Amino acid sequence: MDIIIKSIASGIVTAIILLIAKFAGPKMGGAIGGIPIVFAVSYVMLTLKDKSLGHEFLIGGIYGAIAAIFFSLILMWFNIQFAKSHWLNFAIAYILTFLLALALVYFTSKK
């Protein structure tokens, strides 16, 4: 039941971001949506009984924010260098971002 409530909350937050984008413009919606929602979820999880899960989730959110910034920068650079292949640029940037996030988790995990 807990996952259902969290999923509904996530859907509500997404709907609010989309409404902001519709009425205030896509730049404002992107700015609001770019704020990692993970931190809000982490706060809720930190206040629950199992604080270790919330802490790990928060660390993952930070890695996700780093990966999102990397994705934006690499995609912009690819689109400047290779303007005619924007779908290929997107796919390559996405794969590189996934590999970066995977590397961050792998190299910072306790063995």
Whether the model pTM is above 0.75: no
Q: How confident is the model at residue 24 (pLDDT cuts 50, 70, 90)?
A: confident
Burial annotation 27-53 (CB, 10 A radius, 16+ → b, else e): eebeebbeebbbeebbeebeeeeeeee
Can you tell me the distance from the alpha carbon of 64 to that of 57, in angstroms, rounded to the nearest whole number?
Answer: 10
Can you tell me the distance from the alpha carbon of 51 to that of 12, in angstroms, rounded to the nearest whole number?
Answer: 25
In tens, the pLDDT along 41-68 reads 666 666 666 666 667 767 777 777 788 8
Q: Is the pLDDT of residue 20 over 70?
A: yes
In tens, the pLDDT along 93-106 reads 889 988 888 888 88
Contact 18, 53 (CB under 8 A): no
DSSP string, 3-61: HHHHHHHHHHHHHHHHHHHHHH-HHHHHHHHHS-THHHHHHHHHTSS-HHHHHHHHHHH
Tell me which residue has tokens 């996952």: 3
Mean of the pLDDT values across residues 19-27? 76
Q: What is the pLDDT of residue 50?
A: 65
Q: What is the pLDDT of residue 44?
A: 66
In tens, the pLDDT along 67-88 reads 888 888 898 999 999 888 888 9
Give the whole-number percent of the chain exceeding pLDDT 70.
66
Q: Per-domain residue ranges for the chain?
A: 1-35, 51-111
